[in-house]
Chains A and B, each alone.
Chain A
Amino acid sequence: KNQVEQSPQSLIILEGKNCTLQCNYTVSPFSNLRWYKQDTGRGPVSLTIMTFSENTKSNGRYTATLDADTKQSSLHITASQLSDSASYICVVSLPDLYNTNAGKSTFGDGTTLTVKP
């Protein structure tokens, strides 16, 4: 069982509509939670980064929320555009407790968003 689960697996919406993607994690403790956007065949690009003490972070039309108590995060996309069609990946990073510079992160399988005209 993946420690980072995303839902829905895929989503189709009409251009201009809003949508919300979910990420539930069991990773604990964690250092930060990130949302990435990955266009088909391209490398992921970071949208937002939140530490465990933050509960919301915005980047243009993208707003991420974090509830560390329930271990849930969401990514809300406002006024969707055709270019928002992509996979959205939730990533939870573990703290580097012993300063080993080890980058331990757990990736969700992503939500594939399709925006139709």
Chain B
Amino acid sequence: DSGVTQTPKHLITATGQRVTLRCSPRSGDLSVYWYQQSLDQGLQFLIQYYNGEERAKGNILERFSAQQFPDLHSELNLSSLELGDSALYFCASSVGPPANTGELFFGEGSRLTVL
């Protein structure tokens, strides 16, 4: 158990809909990262927050947005969903940035299926 909690574990929805994925980082971790992993693909970095502020952005679509709240939990909002958005979405947390050998701890992911 990494200590990172993601909900929901599974989600099935229709095209055009909007969903929110939630992540609770390990106690004491200030950084939260979101990744997308499509079937048989590598992990694609979406966005990172540190202590409530956006710090790094990857290939995140404009239809997607995220935020980190004062209690450090984070939410990833996916809107106008398309079939291609079906994927595993992982959240990871670390005390500091990976550059400082801040270990990344991953949650078990939220599997999104768009029909």
Contacts and interface: CB of A to CB of B under 8 A. Distances in A.
B99 A107 contact: no
Interface in B61-115: 88, 90, 92, 94, 96-109, 111
B54 to A, nearest CB: 9
Nearest to A105: B98
Interface size grouping (class) on chain A = 20 to 34
B108 A105 contact: no
B56 interface: yes
Contact of A31 (B43, B44, B99): B99
Contacts of A49: 101, 103
Given A42-B108, A44-B106, A45-B2, A101 B55 contact: yes
Given A101-B50, A102-B48, A95 B107 contact: no
Interface of B: 2, 4, 30-31, 33, 41-45, 48, 50-51, 55-56, 88, 90, 92, 94, 96-109, 111
Interface of A: 31-32, 34, 41-46, 49, 51, 89, 91, 93-96, 100-105, 107-110
